[in-house]
Structure 1
Amino acid sequence: MDKLLNSNWFVKVIAFFLALLLAMGVSMETEEDNANKLLWTMSSKKSETLNDISIVPYFDQQNYVLTDMPASVDVKLSGPASLITKTTKVDRAFEVYIDLTKQKAGSKKVKVQIRNLPKGLKASVEPTYVDVTLHKKITKEVPVNIDLKNIRKLPSGYSPGETEFSPRTVKLTGAEEMINDISFITGFVDVGKATETIETSVPLKAYNSQGEVVDVAINPETAKVKVPINKPKKNVSVSVKQKGELPEGLRLNGISVKPGDVSLTGPQSLLDEIDEIHAMEIDLSKVTEDTSYEAELIIPEGVKVSADRVTVEVDVEETEVSRTFKEIPLTIEGLAEGQEADILNPGSGFTDITVTGKKEVLDQLEASDLQAILDVSSLEDGEHAIKIAWKKPAGVLLEDPMLEATVSLTSETSTSETSGTEDTNKNNESTSQQLKERID
């Protein structure tokens, strides 16, 4: 025995078993304490009040509408603390409700009930009864209105156009008394400070005759709305600038513009500065006849115009022009045989003449087309004032022409006179030659 006690390994074994026994004793004591604590907890009871618990109503929702029901009640739970904690913090399976499934329309006082509580818990509800009203449910189709807000806050010169919206009617579902009390369905669009077309969706609400919102179901609940915003507008005339002069022979009767005025839109401050719009200028020097053409408008920056082009019509007519022809020869016709003529006035035997007519006619006119005829037929010898007969093309007018000339007529009476006549003829031939050279 002494040997065993003196052995190291024997001592170690004994120490191990002693430690094991000590540990088992401590463990048993801890488990016992825990069991005692659990038993105490399970056996302890308490109560807890839950405030504002929602009430779930059960009724025939297809045919009735429920009103006047309180939103919530208070529920007092009594029982083991662990069950209360489990019910309120973990499961949350209980339900507070009222049962109206077999009730008809009218005012009711119904009991508030609770279910799905675990065994061991008791509950009381405050208030125990609630007053509610069941209404007969109806559906009615009514028209929709869209009202515009803050029209006065639109920028200067801007105004709302005709409002477009859809749908035009909606279906209302709710208590018969409420539906019958509804005066209008309205959505509101705020147009304040708008400068462009507004396209939006707005919620619809039902209002009674006092302007109070009525809580009914609206289908659809929103309307799509389009509100055109009219910008400041101003009508101004269109003018055409001109440069150059019409060619000779043309006269300007007028220039017309179609359309004669256009509509401008833009900021009011810009419109106030514009009194007319100009079309691209026309060069009259290139106009040879009545002309119609399209002209672009010169549009000021920052404004819009109802048309960017106009039709310009230039109305012209031909006018008479004048031409002066120099040294038109006076031609003598109707001399008798042996008779000679001498033009005394004008002594040169020529005259100047100014003619008028259409330019295209006068451009083709030559001096040889104008003839001044002195008819001496049946006149006796001597000096005579003879009316000049002018021959000219059609369409040509004479301006202040020479009307008569003085001519001396002589006839042969003797040989000497014949000789003299021959000399005269020679002189006439010389004069005729001079006339011809001048004409040429």
Structure 2
Amino acid sequence: MKTNRSWIYGLLAIFLSLILFFYASTSQYQTQARTSGDIATETYTNTIKGVPLVLRYDSEKYFVSGFASEVNIDLSSSNRVLLSTETQESSRTFRVVLDLTKESPGLVEVPVTVEHLTSGVTAKVDPATISGTIGLKKSKTFKIDLASFLSQLPNGADVQLADGDREVTVTTNEDLLNQIAAVRMVLPDDWGTTKNYNGEVSLQALDVSGEVVPSVIEPETIAIRIQLKTEEKK
């Protein structure tokens, strides 16, 4: 009788041992699977601010204005090396594009796209869309408004332009060109009103309200000489 019981106990022990073995093996496999899954799906992200925006359009036919020149972009990848490569300006392969080639003249809102991004890296652009104006390109010649510039200077100041009375060519779209009332010189930031000046000044196209009209001016700057009046000694 004791022999039978010993035999039964032995079988139970073996059975329990097998159950524990399979349970331990299954638990270890599930743990390894979860760990492998976590590693495979771990994602790294980098944010790049001020990425240049490439505007694609027919620059011979159209003049565009109002579009942002830079965007921010979030790059994500499970591969740190790829992510680092695309983050660095010197090694990145992608570019951010605003394709206007299929748009008609007028106010438009266009989605921003990312081209040539390395496989394994995803991108999210902020803002996702950008608005601006497309217009037919037109140019016109204007004389520089010297009188308005003199009004900003101390009484008695003398201004001499490099080539006497200068004219410049302003390029913009049709609608904006009709809004231009004058082309004026801009006082240099580093110039004080108590000293003479001999150098370059930039130019701006303005409307009747004195607001800057988006345009390209050729030449962009002009050489001038500002001679202040010298008080005679008593």
Q: Which has the higher contact order (CA 8 A, sep 6+)?
A: 2
1:48 aligns with 2:51: no
**Paired residue secondary structure (2:67):** coil
Whichever residue aligns with residue 168 of structure 1, its letter is R
Aligned to 1:60: 58
Aligned to 2:133: 133
Aligned to 1:21: none
Instruction: Please give the alpha-carbon distance, in whole angstroms, between the structure 2 residues aligned to 1:73 and 1:188.
Output: 29
Aligned to 2:21: none
Whichever residue aligns with residue 76 of structure 1, its letter is D
Instruction: Please give the alpha-carbon distance, in whole angstroms, between the structure 1 residues aligned to 2:201 and 2:194.
Output: 18
Among 186, 201, 206, the alignment partner of 2:184 is 186
Flag the structure with higher strand content. 1
Q: Structure 1's 230 and 95: CA in aligned 2 closer, same or farther, altered over 3 A?
A: closer
Question: Do 1:97 and 1:113's aligned partners in 2 also have CA atoms closer than 8 Å?
Answer: yes
Instruction: Please give the alpha-carbon distance, in whole angstroms, between the structure 1 residues aligned to 2:226 and 2:73.
Output: 53
Aligned to 1:75: 73
Whichever residue aligns with residue 48 of structure 1, its letter is T
Range with bigger deviation, 85-94 or 216-225: 85-94
**Paired residue secondary structure (1:91):** coil
Aligned to 1:116: 116
1:103 deviation in Å? Answer: 2.7
Superimposed CA distance per residue, residues 172-218 of structure 1 (whole angstroms, 9 cap, x where no aligned partner): 01122222211111225679445x8x654322222211112223111
Q: Structure 1's 125 and 187: CA in aligned 2 closer, same or farther, altered over 3 A?
A: closer
Whichever residue aligns with residue 119 of structure 2, its letter is K
Q: Structure 1's 94 and 42: CA in aligned 2 closer, same or farther, altered over 3 A?
A: farther
Aligned to 1:409: none
Instruction: Please give the alpha-carbon distance, in whole angstroms, between the structure 1 residues aligned to 2:48 and 2:226.
Output: 49
When Rg is computed on C-alpha atoms for both structures, the one with the higher figure is: 1
1:66 deviation in Å? Answer: 1.9
TM-score by length of 2: 0.65
Whichever residue aligns with residue 74 of structure 2, its letter is K
**Paired residue secondary structure (2:101):** coil
1:86 aligns with 2:85: yes
Instruction: Please give the alpha-carbon distance, in whole angstroms, between the structure 2 residues aligned to 1:191 and 1:92.
Output: 44
Instruction: Please give the alpha-carbon distance, in whole angstroms, between the structure 2 residues aligned to 1:93 and 1:227.
Output: 49
Aligned to 2:224: 225
Whichever residue aligns with residue 173 of structure 1, its letter is T
Superimposed CA distance per residue, residues 5-35 of structure 1 (whole angstroms, 9 cap, x where no aligned partner): xxxxxxxxxxxxxxxxxxxxxxxxxxxxxxx
**Paired residue secondary structure (1:213):** coil
Whichever residue aligns with residue 154 of structure 2, its letter is I
1:162 deviation in Å? Answer: 7.5
Alignment of 1:153-232 (within 5 A): 159-160=156-157, 163=160, 165-166=162-163, 167-187=165-185, 192-193=193-194, 199-226=198-225
Alignment of 1:308-347 (within 5 A): none
Whichever residue aligns with residue 104 of structure 2, its letter is K
Aligned to 2:98: 98
TM-score by length of 1: 0.37
1:41 deviation in Å? Answer: 10
5+ residue gaps in structure 1?
1-38, 153-158, 233-266, 270-440
Whichever residue aligns with residue 86 of structure 2, its letter is T
1:169 deviation in Å? Answer: 0.8
Question: Do 1:49 and 1:74's aligned partners in 2 also have CA atoms closer than 8 Å?
Answer: no
Whichever residue aligns with residue 55 of structure 1, its letter is L
**Paired residue secondary structure (1:55):** strand
Question: What is the root-mean-square deviation of aligned Cα atoms in Å?
Answer: 3.3
Q: Structure 1's 61 and 111: CA in aligned 2 closer, same or farther, altered over 3 A?
A: same
Identity %: 23
Superimposed CA distance per residue, residues 317-342 of structure 1 (whole angstroms, 9 cap, x where no aligned partner): xxxxxxxxxxxxxxxxxxxxxxxxxx
Question: Do 2:185 and 2:201's aligned partners in 1 also have CA atoms closer than 8 Å?
Answer: yes
Question: Do 1:141 and 1:170's aligned partners in 2 also have CA atoms closer than 8 Å?
Answer: yes
1:85 deviation in Å? Answer: 2.5
Instruction: Please give the alpha-carbon distance, in whole angstroms, between the structure 1 residues aligned to 2:227 and 2:71.
Output: 52
Superimposed CA distance per residue, residues 91-131 of structure 1 (whole angstroms, 9 cap, x where no aligned partner): 31111112112333122232211122222223333443332
Question: Do 2:46 and 2:83's aligned partners in 1 also have CA atoms closer than 8 Å?
Answer: no
Aligned to 1:144: 144
**Paired residue secondary structure (2:144):** strand
